[in-house]
Amino acid sequence: MTVKLSARDQAIVEGELGKAAQMAMRILTTMAGVYGAPQLLDIESAHIDGCLYHGLSGLEFALRLVDGGAQVVVPATLNVGAVDLLHPEHFQGTAEHGQRARRLMQAYEQMGCRSIFTCAPYQATQRPPFGAQIAWAESNAIVFANSVLGARTNRYGDFIDICAAITGRAPAVGLHLTENRRGQILFRLVDIPQRLLHQDVFFPVLGYLIGAQAGSKIPVIEGLLPDTSEDQLKALGAATASSGAVALFHAIGVTPEAATFDEAFHNQPPEQVIPVTLANLRATLDHLGTVPDGQVDVVALGSPHFSLDEFDLLMPLLESYPPRPEVEFIVCTHRLVLAALQKRGWLTQLRAAGVQVVVDTCVVVTPIVRARQGALMTNSGKFAHYTPGNIGLQVIFGSMEECVRSGSLGHVWRDRGLWQA
């Protein structure tokens, strides 16, 4: 499809704003044609995933943009990189890998991107308002922005994200358009205990179930409590985007585009209705683990990055159940939370307890975990999904309390009442 360009778009294509902007616009318009977009639209912000080192091609691309004078024209934040720049001693990879990863992160900073290096920019910086057109990458950031904030972005990835930030434009297609944000599949909670609906551990399990069945369609959830917290929605969305390709979900009476059933479905009937029972959730819970409960070698929390509220829940648990010295205990977060931990004196307490606080990156995208075999326990649906393939460890899933108490014992502890009727 031929993409209609504005006068400014055409000027960029012709190189009037420099070589880097020209390259970015050419890539963007080519992809717009692939997406079937008739034109481009203005964006208000971008979140960039390309700063995570995967190989030389990504580094060479970024350096070419830098050499061409690239500068972002909208506020642009950076996703995790492959190195904790504040604590380089955490990195367990080769010196060459670390050097290239740092250079890539620096290249994106040179382009004017904000170096928050987090997968949860919505909890770290000024957030896009309802209805804002944005170009965000990183699966959980995308689904949170669309679902919880009501901003509008497609699933952007490496290279397209920075091209949008440099040009200030994105293809006018997909979830940028109101008609494409209608719910498609209804997930109806059936006889789920009220007690469980308040538990944080419920949400990654529900999200993982929904993502596996929804794929890339837009799910609508009926039955969540109106006071469902932001961190709970964060965990839910991250899990849907891990087991599936969900970029937007609606929760009736909870999320901003789903005040009612009819609003969520744009006054049309759902394509499919899927009941969610306690038995379904228990089956998903079993699927999230790859080994029976037993020895725990690593506890990893913070995917998406831990918020200060989550640390507030963690601190008293650690005080009661400090990790065993032989168990690696890692929590991933971002720099703004790290500063708050320092101010409250919590960082000193965490380190005294043997907890490794990681910023700028996370354990499934770069070598941080020292263990080369054994089991990693997590309360994150995303960590549970990616750990076996990315780290090579077996995985055990549980609530935050189950993770902390298991890390203290060295073997799995369970709250037997969590998933009972």
CA distance 409 to 215: 38
Which pLDDT belongs to residue 417? 92
How high is the pLDDT of residue 1? Answer: 67
Question: What end-to-end distance do the CA atoms of the chain give, in Å?
Answer: 54
Q: Are the C-beta atoms of residues 382 and 363 closer than 8 Å to each other?
A: no
Sign of dihedral through CA atoms 378, 383, 385, 390?
A: negative
Q: Which fold has domain 7-178?
A: Aconitase; domain 3 (3.30.499)
User: What is the distance between the alpha carbons of residues 93 and 114, in angstroms, rounded to a whole number?
Assistant: 25
pLDDT at res. 168: 98
Q: Identify the CATH number of the domain defined by range 289-409.
A: 3.30.499.10
Mode of pairing for the β-strands spanning 169-171 and 40-42: antiparallel
Residue pointed to by tokens 């350096």: 63
Kindly give the parts of the chain with pLDDT less than 70: 1
Torsions phi, psi for 91 (to 5 deg): -70, 130
Q: Using CA of residue 8, residue 10, residue 15, residue 16, what is the dihedral sign?
A: negative
Q: CA 175, CA 245: separation in Å to the nearest integer?
A: 13
Q: For the segment 71-121, what is each residue's pLDDT rounded down to a tens digit?
A: 999 999 999 999 999 999 999 999 999 999 999 999 999 999 999 999 999
Residue 77: C-alpha distances to residues 81, 111, 134, 313 (Å): 12, 11, 12, 27
Name residues whose C-beta falls within 8 Å of residue 239's C-beta, 6 or more positions apart in sequence.
Answer: 203, 204, 205, 206, 207, 208, 210, 211, 381, 382, 385
Task: Give residue 126's pLDDT.
Answer: 81
Rounded to the nearest angstrom, the gap between the alpha carbon of residue 150 and the centroid of all alpha carbons in its chain is 16
Measured torsion, CA atoms of residues 400, 401, 407, 409, in degrees rounded to the nearest 10: -160
